[in-house]
Amino acid sequence: MDGNRGIPAHSRSLFDPPEQESDRREQGSGPVKTLFAHIDGGARGNPGPAGYGVHLVDDKGNLVAEISRYLGHRTNNFAEYSALIAALEYAMQHGWNGLRVISDSELLVKQIRGEYKVKSPDLKELYDRAMILIRKLAPFSIQHVLREKNRDADRLANWAMDNPALCGAGYIHDRK
Please identify, in words, the CATH class of the domain defined by 31-170.
alpha beta
Q: Tell which phi-psi region holds residue 96, choosing left (phi > 0), alpha (psi between -120 and 50) or beta.
A: beta
Rounded to whole angstroms, the Cα distance separating 63 from 14 reads 26
Q: What pLDDT digit, counting tens, does each position of 41-95 carry?
A: 999 999 999 999 999 999 999 999 999 999 999 999 999 999 999 999 999 999 9
pTM here is: 0.82
* Cα 139 versus chain centre, distance: 14
Taking a C-beta distance cutoff of 8 angstroms, is the pair 65, 90 a contact?
yes
Q: What pLDDT digit, counting tens, does each position of 22-48 carry?
A: 344 444 467 889 999 999 999 999 999
What is the DSSP-derived secondary structure letter of residue 62? -
Mind spelling out the 3-state secondary structure of 65-113? EEEEEEEEEECHHHHHHHHHHHHHHHHHHCCCCEEEEEECCHHHHHHHC
Question: Can you say whether the dihedral through the CA atoms of 115, 5, 32, 127 is positive or negative?
Answer: negative
